[in-house]
Every structure is written in structure tokens, then in C-alpha cells.
Amino acid sequence: MTLSFYWYPKCGTCRNAKKWLDENQIDYKAIHIVEEPPSETQILELMETSDLPAKKFFNTSGKKYRELHLKEKINDLSSQEMAEILASDGMLIKRPILTDGKKVTAGFNEETYESVWK
């Protein structure tokens, strides 16, 4: 099965993840997270499928996250509200996101990729 790889090409972490996928000959479809951000429904599905807390899907080091003062608001938001905010701007989303529909990883950690995707 082809994995969906949501990434931002200018992101160093995303490029490292892509390099790992290529080196390990893992089939994926690259989706530009800013040009084609996942919909609110897709984000909710990713949240439900993963074992991660919903707030782990936010790019907390991003400029947009700081501009919107989400650090102060995030703990009071429902998953639905978080998904709505994330779907509004791909730069708010933690990247890369990799999924096969059954498993989801957010961010890139080589050990995690080894155990989940190899």
C-alpha cells in the first residue's frame, strides 16, 4: 500500500524523512501540506487513528502558531476545534505526517520510522 506523506519541501525535517523513505524504498505519495492541506475530516481521522494526543498535530515551533497565541488556547479546544484550525492552514500542522490509513506518525524520528514503517 502506498503511504500518504504530508510534507513541506522547505522543511529540513521533512527532507530527512523523505530521504529515509527513499533509502528504504518505501512507496509513498508526497502531498504538499501547504498547497493541499488535509481537510478537517481527514485531520480528525488522523487524530483518531494515531495514538497521539490531538495537540501533537500542531507545529508548535511555527510562526503562525505563535501569531495565533495557540499555546494559551490549545488546552481549552476540543478535537473538532483543533481539526478546524489545523485544516485552515497547512503551516500549523506538525510535519511530516505519514499514514497508511491504519497507522499515523507526526514528525520524523528515525527510530519511530524504523519500528512503524519498515
* Per-position DSSP letters for 31-54, written without gaps between them: EETTTSPPPHHHHHHHHHHSSS-G
Domains and CATH numbers, the chain: 3-117 (3.40.30.10)
Q: Is 45 left (phi over 0), alpha (psi -120 to 50) or beta?
A: alpha
pLDDT at 1: 73
Alpha-carbon distance of 60 to 64, in angstroms, equals 9
Q: Can you read off the three cell numbers belonging to residue 90?
A: 497547512
pTM: 0.94
pLDDT at 51: 86
10-residue mean pLDDT profile of the chain (118 residues): values are 94 98 98 97 96 95 96 96 97 98 97 96
Cβ neighbours of residue 1 under 8 Å, at least 6 residues apart? 27, 100, 101
